[in-house]
């Protein structure tokens, strides 16, 4: 790829930029503002201010249009379709396709449920229909300079607290994707038992709804909580296993099969920032393999971050996104020096 101006990245690091000077000229910007840490890359020494300006402009417009015109902290009758469930000592349900006081409403509501033990809500799954009457509170995205990117990612605009005994629950029609996830969960719990099946399901899909708080805490304290969140570890294992099985195949076949499997896997587990980042970087590696070009991790990381921020600008404030991008950047930046030391 030829350079036009000063912002082009080709199969190498940058247009005519020596590799050892990349860290100086790529424009890594570290900004700490009100506890929010972000960075971006502008290859070839170009300014990243324009890119950040665009992201912050879109973020501001999103924040302004987030709050729904509704009478808050008053009782409303709410009905919606279950999108996700979190069990444990406390239970929470995210409802979508909302109807509030009989009128359709945009956004989702997160309901914190008390007294769910022994009720039908214990077996609530995505696609079911749940109703309740309770006070609705505004789920504000921003608190000063801090932004709750998780609310944005899940489109949660309201929160509520309800007693399970006052809620209605009816079985609904699950999507094809949710049926596959339900069948997988049942197969794992039937073969491994509920305790181990819940863990296996969480490791495969990143959905830890059935895990108790004690199990989640045990994984976190042990320092292996990341295995319950689908990320580069899972994508790397999956793509590596496929490439190993197809090691005798032509490059075009390897790329096509691996790419197709990754797309299906992402559709199955969902588009979290860490998963999208991992898949884009893997796709860049596959394209390099197909074209016989040298892979460059930093260029792939910058591309992945740009795509994510283009479609989900508030991911900039997502701790998962920051840690994922930061950890990969650290490995790419420091890894070569460790390699040299081990030779």
pLDDT in tens, 68-108: 777 778 889 999 998 888 876 678 889 989 999 888 888 89
Using the predicted structure, report yes or no on whether residue 297 has a pLDDT greater than 50. Answer: yes
Mean pLDDT, residues 14-33: 35
H/E element, 99: strand 91-100
d(CA 194, CA 184): 13
d(CA 163, CA 144): 32
Q: What is the pLDDT of residue 53?
A: 57
d(CA 127, CA 171): 7
Q: How deeply is 68 buried, as exposed, middle or buried, from its count of CB atoms within 10 A (0-12, 13-18, 19+)?
A: middle
Q: pLDDT band for 251, please (50, 70, 90 cuts).
A: confident
Q: What is the pLDDT of residue 80?
A: 92
Mean pLDDT, residues 15-35: 35
Q: What does the DSSP 8-state code read for residue 20?
A: G
Give 204-209 contacts, CB < 8 A, sequence gap 24+.
Answer: 205/181, 205/230, 205/268, 205/269, 206/230, 206/269, 206/270, 206/272, 206/275, 207/84, 207/181, 207/269, 208/86, 209/84, 209/85, 209/86, 209/87
Using the predicted structure, report yes or no on whether residue 277 has a pLDDT greater than 50. Answer: yes
Q: pLDDT band for 161, please (50, 70, 90 cuts).
A: very high
Q: What is the pLDDT of residue 257?
A: 92
d(CA 313, CA 320): 14
Is residue 112 within 8 Å of residue 161, measured between CB atoms? yes
Mean pLDDT, residues 175-187: 85
Pairwise pLDDT comparison (143 vs 303), residue with the higher score:
303
> Pairing between strand 91-100 and 103-105?
antiparallel
Q: What is the pLDDT of residue 338?
A: 79
Q: How deeply is 165 buried, as exposed, middle or buried, from its count of CB atoms within 10 A (0-12, 13-18, 19+)?
A: exposed
Could you tell me the two tokens for 280?
């884009």
Neighbours of 42 (CB within 10 A): 21
> Pairing between strand 108-114 and 156-163?
parallel
Which of helix, strand or coil describes residue 194?
helix
Using the predicted structure, report yes or no on whether residue 321 has a pLDDT greater than 50. Answer: yes
Using the predicted structure, report yes or no on whether residue 193 has a pLDDT greater than 70. Answer: yes
Mean pLDDT, residues 14-29: 36
Using the predicted structure, report yes or no on whether residue 27 has a pLDDT greater than 60. Answer: no
- Residue 254 φ then ψ, to 5°: -60, -50
Most confident of 32-41, 249-258, 320-329: 249-258
Neighbours of 164 (CB within 10 A): 18
100 HSE (CA, 13 A, CB side):
24
CA angle 324, 326, 332 (to 5 degrees): 105
Using the predicted structure, report yes or no on whether residue 136 has a pLDDT greater than 50. Answer: yes
Neighbours of 328 (CB within 10 A): 22
């Amino acid at each position: 790829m030829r350079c036009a101006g000063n912002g082009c990245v080709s199969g190498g690091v940058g247009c005519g930029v020596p590799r050892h000077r990349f860290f100086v000229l790529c424009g890594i910007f570290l900004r700490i503002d009100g506890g929010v840490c972000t960075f971006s890359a502008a290859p070839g020494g170009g300014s990243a201010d324009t890119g950040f300006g665009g992201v912050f402009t879109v973020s501001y417009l999103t924040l302004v249009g987030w709050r729904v015109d509704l009478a808050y902290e008053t009782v409303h009758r709410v009905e919606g379709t279950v999108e996700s469930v979190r069990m444990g000592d406390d239970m929470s349900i995210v409802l979508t396709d909302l109807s509030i006081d009989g009128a359709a409403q945009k956004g989702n509501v997160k309901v914190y449920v008390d007294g769910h033990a022994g009720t039908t809500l214990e077996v609530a799954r995505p696609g079911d229909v749940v109703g309740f009457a309770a006070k609705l509170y505004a789920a504000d995205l921003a608190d000063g300079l801090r932004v709750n990117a998780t609310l944005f990612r899940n489109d949660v605009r309201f929160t509520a607290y309800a007693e399970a005994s006052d809620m209605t629950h009816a079985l609904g029609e699950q999507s094809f994707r949710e049926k596959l996830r339900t069948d997988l969960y049942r197969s794992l719990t039937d073969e491994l038992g509920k305790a181990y099946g819940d863990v296996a399901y969480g490791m495969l899909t990143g959905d830890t709804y059935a895990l108790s708080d004690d199990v989640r805490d045990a994984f976190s304290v042990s320092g292996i909580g990341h295995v319950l969140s689908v990320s580069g570890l899972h994508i790397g294992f999956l793509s590596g296993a496929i490439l190993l099985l197809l090691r005798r195949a032509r490059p075009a076949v390897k790329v096509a099969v691996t790419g197709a499997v990754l797309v299906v896997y992402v559709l199955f587990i969902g588009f979290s920032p860490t998963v999208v980042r991992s898949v884009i970087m893997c796709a860049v590696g596959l394209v390099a393999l197909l074209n016989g070009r040298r892979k460059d991790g930093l260029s792939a990381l910058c591309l992945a971050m740009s795509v994510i921020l283009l479609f989900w600008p508030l991911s900039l404030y997502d701790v998962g996104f920051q840690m994922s991008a930061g950890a990969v950047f650290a490995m790419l930046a420091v890894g070569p020096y460790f390699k040299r030391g081990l030779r």
